[in-house]
Amino acid sequence: MVTSTRGTARRRAGDGDDDPGRRAAESAGARTRTVSAPGASPWAEAVARWGGRVLQVYAVWLLLALLFRPVARHAERPVAEVLSITNVPSYPSLFTAVVVGLVASGFLRRRRVALWFVILVWQLPSALVMLLALVLDRVDPTAGVLDDVHWTAYAGGVVGLVLTVVLIAARRAFPARIARGAWWAAGLVLLIGLALAAAIVTALLWVVPSSLDTPAERIGWAASVSVGLSPHEEPFAIDGSAPGWLALVGGLVAGAALLLAVVVFLRTGPRDAARRPDEELALRRLLLEHPSDDSLEYFATRDDRDAIFSADGRAAVSYRVVSGVVLAAGDPLGDPASWPDAIDRTLAFARGHGWAPGVLSASEKGARAYRDAGLAVITMGDEAIVETREFDLAAPSMRPVRHAVARPQREGYSVRLRRQREIPADELAALARAADEWRHGEDERGFSMALERLGSPRDPRVLVVTAHDRDGEPRGLLTFVPWGRKGVSLDYMRRSPDAAPGVTELMISTLASEGAGMAIDRVSLNFAMFRGLIEQGESVAANPWQRFLRRLVLAASRWWQLDQLYRSNQKYEPRWRTRYLCYAASAQLTSVTVAAGQAEGFVPLWPTPRSARAGAGSSADAALGTAVREQEDALLALDVPTQRLTDQERARRAKLDVLAAAGMPAYPVGVPRTHRLADVDELLLGHGVSVSGRVVRLRDLGGVCFAVLREENHERQVLLTADGTADVALWRRAVDLADQVSVTGTVVRSRTGELSVHADSWVMASKSLKAPPDKFRGLADPETRMRLRHVDLALDTKASVTLRGRSAAVHALRTSLVERGFIEVETPILQRVHGGANARPFRTHINAYDMDLYLRIAPELFLKQLAIGGIERVFELGRNFRNEGADATHNPEFTSLEAYQAFGDYTTMRHLTRELVVAAAVAVHGDAVSRRPDGSEVRLDGEWPVVTVHDAVSRAVGAEVTPDTPEHELHALCARFGIEVGEDETHGAVVNEMYDRLVEGQTVEPTFYTDFPVETSPLTRVHRRDPRLAERWDLVGFGAELGTAYSELIDPIDQRERFTQQSLLAAAGDPEAMEIDEGFLSALEFAMPPTGGLGLGVDRIYMTIIGASIRETLAFPFVKPQRRS
């Protein structure tokens, strides 16, 4: 059994007692009625299914016989006689065709009235008449009762008896019952219509020549043809005849009367009471708790739609009954896991009333759910969705929209975007009146895409877009219903007859451009039916059939504006989302399609009395609006995540209350501090001081409490005694390790002779809510040390010293360059062209210009432009970014130093580099040394080796390698050392690969490797003695490249050729190849003086000086994100 309230299946909508959905189900009371679910056996279902199909065949036969009667009249009677053995009317007439077709439709819809009609009107009478005839013949054989009885009568009697038994046994397959009063209303209409048909034919027989002599014969003949019976057979048995067209006239009038009776019959179906407030709240709760990707979900709250809930109340199907079709719209609401149950209940509800189920405008996800429930699915059209973050009115493709909005902009139009709750009541009422006045001539969205409730207090989140002329008068109106949290779906679209052309485009483009600022990510516009047919027919590869279908759509657009709707949406470059039509059986597709057309306004609909709803402005509507706002505020409020605390963290937070009770702020704006801990020494013995620091050790010996405070890398003991003035009790209750405290007291020595501060008073400087790591092991895990950098720096002296040493090294580099006449500059980090080095860049996007940008991999090209501009000595210390991973010697973002000196070369820069590195080492260690991880030292103040790349490779492979070495010999050497290189690699590329694999990683002391192959150095000038080489060196030390320098390439023609080769590599897929920078090339053509340039990796320079990894030298190295539980 399916429990139905107001024609909707309702059960609990949640587990809470205050759930409106649950209250809606439990308080239904007397308004709850029961609808029997199908309980028929498979054979009964087969009887109903095949019975309906047989009746459809008979209906088709009757229509075809009417059509072909003029040319095949001689064949009509034999076929009709054979078909008559089923007792279904087989004599062709329009009336009988309509009757049989309607009964077939009732059979397929499982209407019980159709079953009993077949039994009581067609089958049982035939069986009873035949049985009666047999009995009478048995009683008096001489009476001749069976004389002249045609064999079809015997067969019809047997068939009638058998079918009567079979159909009665299969009655459970026909659960759909008729509403009370439907029979009387429809029967009265039918009788009047049949009487009218007989009267018209009778009147015509008085003036049309015929062989009917008596009035009784004329009336009988007219009555027989009006009800679709043969006038020559029983019970009429009239010998005379009349023109056949008179029978057609009678059949037409009677058929029209029958159709009208069916319409009245269907319209006298169940009438539902108004939807109760708690039921609407239950529906809205589903929208808020389970927002879906369906932009039409909010239209489920239309006043002419009801809903069928799943058993658990977590899903519902919104529907409306239209012309005998339970027409759902959009996807089911709520939890997708409960969709199947809600769909099954909807289908059972439709079947229980003999209505055809149909679904209008389902999305792909919803269509799949309906298909899984047994419905068939066909494409209906497409919905236009504009993504506000992708919308760009300045794009070239938006020229038609820009042209349209130019007119109202010139006339001073402005657009306002507001939620309905933000609009004053009088203005909202005026907009509602204007919308009604502007309604004529506008395209109206139908049942599935319109709310038709502007101004109702139940819709506070509806977005209202208004266009105003220069005088502030409204000239255009758009309203959008909510779509989840960050979307809106079009409802009203109105414009004043006096509005400037383009006002609608102005409102939509303004919303699309400014919507992101209102947290609106997507906008659903209109629905374009048959968009696929239009686009396919316009394609250059369209076949004749596709072009024909497109012409049909264009022809239909004269009435329904199908093509116009598609064009009006396409200009916004939306993302099209396909919508689907779902139906139960092919025989019901026409009914569903007609009902959908009626609901959407394409097909005229018989006026239907709707359920009584509270109108906008009524007290009931206002009360419901208040409840809706309260529910939305509660469900749309962002949940504040609850922090999970350990026992220690909870204990520390509890001590905040202890401090507050004592009147001591846990986080004061300031505390007493006269001296740093480092300044507290023997000279201050006996003097009063105020010091502050982090508590790193605590001891409580009963009469005295000891603590060690840490500030920077200095520690000092403080003590509190019971006989002193400091609040020892509060100290014991409130102070933990890692707290920041301020202690005021006298500098003394403890009993053990340790210099200490004897506290007279203390205050909390900052309460730590996190416990420090184990005091013996500290942060042992390197990864944890990087993640908890603040803890590492606060408690580990080495980490703090390393950070301070880096600052000294960077300062030394900067100072050394400034002392030599270099000026420091800053160049852009966001760059349009990725250049300056061969490396994989990070990409980003600037929304203001809709342009992809790169985080710079090197500042080189901008610094060279400054050199061209006359800045002879220039440098930059800054961050670069390369998308190449992180390891012991690499970090995705790193600090580099690039410097350029006019009239210098790579030799000049080599000497400068050594001086800079030595200055940094002296700043860190006080001496020109580099420390290794094992504690050993390497002197840096001597001359550093200078080795050509080819000589270094020769030493590594034990064979001479020069620019003249044949490539096959280089490949052989690579194979011997297990170095994989491509067969098409150039000589220079192979040498460079051998250098990377065999030389760089094995170098310990700082060494300059010079004269690299020219093809691996696109920004370096050709060697002055060998054009196959470039004037470039790499500084390598302790297995890592520390820097590089060039004699800069200043020939603009040569530079353009090299950039072109790089761009070809980039186009071929090399992610590290540089792009052509026309701005730099143009500057280079302005003449750049001979220049030497260098680039140093500051992070690597410092790590080699102190013997640490690159991660240890950075304040915050890149750490792989943790997986969140």
Contact (CB, 8 A) for 884 and 1110: no
Task: Please give, one letter per residue, the 3-state secondary structure of 662-695.
Answer: CCCCCCCCCCCCCCCHHHCCHHHCCCEEEEEEEE
How far apart are the C-alpha atoms of 196 and 852, rounded to whole Å? 79
Q: 328: which strand partners?
A: 319, 359
CA–CA dist 461, 479 (Å, integer): 10
Note whether 240 and 210 are within 8 A (CB): yes
Longest dimension (CA), the chain: 152
Q: Is 996 marked as binding a ligand? A: no
Angle at 322 between CA 318 and CA 323, to 5 degrees: 155
**How far is the first Cα of the chain from the last one, in angstroms, to the nearest whole number?**
44
CA distance 1031 to 139: 132
- Contact in structure between 670 and 654 (CB atoms under 8 Å): no
Collapsed DSSP state (helix, strand, coil) of residue 1093 = strand
What span, in angstroms and rounded, lies between the C-alpha atoms of 509 and 503? 10
Residues in the chain, how many?
1125
| 277 close to 346: Cβ distance less than 8 angstroms | no
Q: Residue 1034, annotated ligand binder? A: yes
Q: What is the phi/psi pair of residue 566, to 5°?
A: -65, -45
Angle at 252 between CA 251 and CA 253, to 5 degrees: 95
What span, in angstroms and rounded, lies between the C-alpha atoms of 868 and 878? 21
Q: Which amino acid is at 838?
A: N
SS3 228: coil
Rounded Cα distance between 143 and 138, Å, is 10
Looking at the DSSP bridge assignments, the partners of residue 698 are: 707
CA-nearest of 323, 317, 322 to 296 is 317
CA distance 91 to 97: 9
Report the DSSP pairing between strands 1040-1047 and 356-362: unpaired
The structure tokens listed for 302 are 């239309």
Return the H-helix or E-strand segment holding 436. Answer: helix 425-437
Q: Across-strand partners of 748?
A: 756
Residues forming a β-bridge with 705? 700, 720
Q: Which residues are annotated as a binding site for Mg(2+)?
A: 1034, 1041
Q: Which residues are annotated as a binding site?
A: 1034, 1041
